[in-house]
Amino acid sequence: MKTFTSGLIARIWLALILPVLTGYSAIAQGFSPHAKARLQFIIDSFQNNPANPYIGGLSVAIDVDGLASWNGATGYAARNVDGQNNLLTGGTPFTTNTLSRMYSVTKIFTSALVLELAKKGAFSLEDPVSRFLPLNLINPELNENVTIRQLLAHESGYSNYTDELQLQIAVAFQPTHVWTPFEMLSFVHQVNAPGTERRYSSTNYITLGAIIEAATGIPVEQHFRKKFFGPLHLNSMFFGEREPLWNGAILASPHDNLSPFNPIFQLTGQPTFPDAYTNVSAFPFTGIVSLAFTGGAIVTDAKDMARWGNALFGARATNYSTLHTMINSISQVPDDDGDFLGYGIFRTTRISATDIFIGHDGRAPGYRSVMFYQPDKKMTIAILTNYYGANLYDVAKALYESLPGFTCGNKNRKEDKIVVCFKGHDLCVDRKAAAVHINKGAWLGGCEKPAVCPVYKSKMEPMERLSGNAGIKIFPNPASNRATLSFSPPKSGQVSAALYDITGKYVLSIFKGYAEKNILRQVEISTANLSAGTYIVRLQMQEKIQQQKLVLIR
């Protein structure tokens, strides 16, 4: 079994094992008005980007466990359409209470449930599929000796049912048909020998759901509700097609491009769709959601999805043993998408190249989602959208980079101490004290002050007026696609670094946050999209500004 390196495991666990000291009822403030305004501006900017305007909308929740929470929404839960499904102006707004489909984030619930049931003796992780499901009758092509552990690890060698064209056509022909896992399994293929390759396949997690029900005799939605939804007060969550939409809830309509199936729709008398993204709620989603099952059927709002992330990785959803098994399952070898797969979770570098993020994403017709946890900050970012054309990793990355730096512990226990702004003063306090200060009106991160910027009389003056480059190192320099900025501030406090062109024009932000005195910080500078030439890296500390040239070559 592939695992993380021991150092990375230790880093995650140092963050996970600390108990959460306050509950959600204590979260009243947390983020400053400026921080909240920035976060809303970011999601509005993606929603209204002329290059890719979001046809639907999205909802975001950022939850720093026990300290602060922010929730924002933008766009439409349902766009108006005419009789031919062409988009019209206006629609129903997407709010922070709007529900959406999390799709494959459901796999985290399934993995945790499987591991809990295995500990209780319902089955062994080494049991073969054949002990519970008659694969020799359902699909003799599939290897019936695949184990439950191999299903968890995406090492079964079963094809992903979403890639099976004949199954896609069957769903288009019968969109209201409620599919069973056994019907789905009849369409998939054995593409690799079991245990030889870790390749993502939703088929694995739907098979796990069928095994759960066969082994326990209890529907999976009852397991989820009794084990997770109820105890954790995830009141918006329900299991699609097995449980009804609760009274007063609004489920966002799907927005996608279904025109490739228009020839089939014409044969069956179903509505056809423009060759563009539109509101496709005229197409029944019964078949799609029932197929997703324990691989993707859960519906939620963003707030509850973020709470789930904190509850899981804070060991409140399961015990530490189960959580350790999930974390320890993450491969040290990336898959074809660059993700590091584990049991129902994976580590991604698409939100940050330097900071750990573990969780899952979801995507299927009409919807997308991401839910990732950052251990050093004990924070979950959750995003839901009903626009399939959205790139939620870009949204998550932009949101994360805009957050104020608020951890001030040592390099091995970053989450142990928190920076708060309290009555105009920056304080570095332990997590419990931070919660107390926040309940008294403080907010995460240092007090935001106007940037100290020198006044330039000419384009070349910045390079001569600022202090020298002592304490700053950039490697490599010259650089091509990326470089690393290293610095050790002489005093603890807020630090920001940015890149400027040779004329002094701002190009991009490199770092903004709290830095400890004489502790080496290393920050990656992404330069792949910049033109060749000479730039200035400017590091701004409390009492002085330092800079150094950076030469980019192509």
Q: What is the CATH number of the domain that holds 547?
A: 2.60.40.2470
pLDDT digits 0-9 by tens, 85-125: 999 999 999 999 999 999 999 999 999 999 999 999 999 99
Whether residues 468 and 382 share a domain: the answer is no
| Residue 315 included in any domain | yes
Q: State the average pLDDT over residues 298-315.
A: 97
Q: pLDDT tens for residues 179-222?
A: 999 999 999 999 999 999 999 999 999 999 999 999 999 999 99
Residue-averaged pLDDT of the chain: 88
- Regarding whether 201 and 267 lie in a shared domain, the answer is yes
pLDDT at 152: 98
The answer to the question of residue 11 being in a domain is no
- Indicate whether 423 belongs to any domain: no
Give pLDDT, residue 469: 41
Could you tell me which residue, 386 or 416, shows the higher pLDDT? 386
**Is residue 63 pLDDT above 90, yes or no?**
yes
Is 8 part of any domain? no
Confidence band for 310, pLDDT divided at 50, 70 and 90: very high
398 with 466, same domain: the answer is: no
Q: CA separation (Å) from 276 to 165, 252, 259, 263, 367?
A: 21, 19, 7, 16, 15
245 and 366 both lie in a single domain? yes
How do residues 425-442 score in pLDDT, each as one tens digit? 999 999 999 999 999 999
For residue 349, is it within any domain? yes
- Is residue 440 included in any domain, yes or no? no
Closest CA to 304 of 241, 246, 261: 246
pLDDT of residue 22: 35
pLDDT tier at 364, thresholds 50, 70, 90: very high
β-sheet bridge partners, residue 499:
508, 537
Which of 25-39, 64-78, 314-328, 521-535 comes out lowest in average pLDDT? 25-39
Looking at residue 470, what is its pLDDT?
42
Q: Looking at the structure, tell me whether residues 229 and 342 fall in a common domain.
A: yes
Say yes or no: 389 and 478 in one domain: no
Asked if residue 259 and residue 148 are part of one domain, the reply reads yes
The C-alpha angle 477, 481, 485, rounded to 5 degrees, equals 45
Looking at 406, 424, 446, the residue that finishes a domain is 406
Enclosing domain of residue 122:
32-406
Percent of the chain exceeding pLDDT 90 equals 70
> How much is the pLDDT for 505?
74
> Tell me, what's the pLDDT at 471?
66
Query: Quick one: pLDDT band at residue 363, thresholds 50, 70, 90?
Result: very high
What integer pLDDT is reported at residue 1 of this predicted model?
35
In three-state form (DSSP H/G/I as H, E/B as E, the rest C), the secondary structure along 512-525 is: EEEECCCCCEEEEE
pLDDT of the residue at 88: 96
The answer, yes or no, to whether residue 5 has pLDDT greater than 50, is no
Domain count, the chain: 2
The overall pTM is greater than 0.75: yes
d(CA 90, CA 99): 19
Question: What integer pLDDT is reported at residue 548 of this predicted model?
Answer: 85
Sheet holding 533-540, edge to edge: 506-515, 493-501, 533-540, 545-552
Residue 140 and residue 265 share a domain: yes
Report the range of poorest mean pLDDT among 11-15, 255-259, 545-549.
11-15
- Would you state the pLDDT for residue 463? 29
pLDDT beyond 70 at 6: no
pLDDT at 20 over 50: no
Q: Is the pLDDT of residue 466 over 50?
A: no
The domain boundary residue, chosen from 406, 424, 450: 406
Q: Residue 543 — very low, low, confident or very high, per pLDDT cuts 50/70/90?
A: low
Give the confidence band of 11 by pLDDT, cuts at 50, 70, 90. low
- For residue 259 the two structure tokens come to 């025109």
Q: Is the pLDDT of residue 450 over 80?
A: no
Residue 87: the pLDDT is: 95
The last residue of a domain, from among 373, 388, 406 = 406
Report how far residue 271's alpha carbon sits from residue 262's, in angstroms, rounded to the nearest whole number.
8
Q: Report phi then psi at 398, rounded to 5.
A: -65, -40
pLDDT digits (tens, 9 = 90+) for 118-152: 999 999 999 999 999 999 999 999 999 999 999 99
Mean per-residue pLDDT for 461-465? Answer: 30
Element (DSSP H or E) covering residue 72: strand 68-81
Q: How far apart are the first and last CA of the chain?
A: 40
Cβ atoms of 495 and 419 closer than 8 Å: no
399 and 467 share one domain: no
Does any domain span residue 18? no
Q: How many alpha carbons lie under 13 Å from residue 252 in its C-beta half-sphere?
A: 37
309 within a domain of the structure (yes/no)? yes
Q: Tokens 């049912």 — which residue?
A: 161
Residues 467 and 379 in one domain: no
CATH number, residue 267: 3.40.710.10
Q: Is the pLDDT of residue 311 over 70?
A: yes
pLDDT in tens, 214-269: 999 999 999 999 999 999 999 999 999 999 998 899 999 999 999 999 999 999 88
Percent of the chain with pLDDT over 70: 90
Same domain, 324 and 182: yes
Same domain, 389 and 491: no
